[in-house]
Amino acid sequence: MTALNIVPFVSVDNMMRLVHAVGIEAMLVRLAAAVAEDFSRWEAFHKTPRIAAHSSDGVIELMPTSDGQTYGFKYVNGHPKNAAGGRQTVTAFGVLADVGNGYPVLITEMTLLTALRTAATSALAARALARPGSRTMALIGNGAQAEFQALAFRALLGVDVLRLYDIDPAATAKCLRNLASLGFDLTACGSTEEAVRGADIVTTVTADKRNAVILSDNLVGEGMHINAVGGDCPGKTELAPEVLARAALFVEYEPQTRIECEIQQLAPDHPVTELWRVLAGLAPGRHDARQVTVFDSVGFAIEDFSALRTVRDLLAEHPYYEELDLLADPDDPRDLFGMLLRAAPPRLVA
pLDDT for 1-36, tens place per residue?
479 999 999 999 999 999 999 999 999 999 999 999
Q: Determine if the pTM surpasses 0.85.
A: yes
Q: Please, which pLDDT band fits residue 288 given cuts at 50, 70 and 90?
A: very high
pLDDT band at 210 (very low <50, low <70, confident <90, very high): low
Model confidence over 229-255: pLDDT tens digits?
976 667 778 898 999 999 999 999 999
State the pLDDT at residue 224. Answer: 97
Give SS3 for 262: helix
Percentage above 70 pLDDT, the chain: 96
Q: Is 233 exposed, middle or buried (0-12, 13-18, 19+ CB in 10 A)?
A: buried
Q: What residues are paired with 295 via a beta bridge?
A: 227, 250
Over the Cα atoms of the chain, what is R_g?
22
pLDDT attached to residue 207: 65
Average pLDDT in the chain: 94
Q: What is the pLDDT of residues 92-142, one digit of tens each?
A: 999 999 999 999 999 999 999 999 999 999 999 999 999 999 999 999 999
List the catalytic residue out of 38, 166, 200, 232: 232
161's CB contacts (< 8 A; 6+ apart) are 135, 136, 137, 184, 185
Residues 28 and 120: beta-carbon distance below 8 Å: yes
Q: Are strands 59-66 and 70-78 parallel, antiparallel or unpaired?
A: antiparallel
pLDDT band at 161 (very low <50, low <70, confident <90, very high): very high
Q: What is the pLDDT of residue 68?
A: 97
pLDDT at 264: 87
Distance CA 155, CA 132 (A): 15
Question: Can you tell me the distance from the alpha carbon of 68 to that of 274, in angstroms, rounded to the nearest whole number?
Answer: 22
Active site residue 232: yes
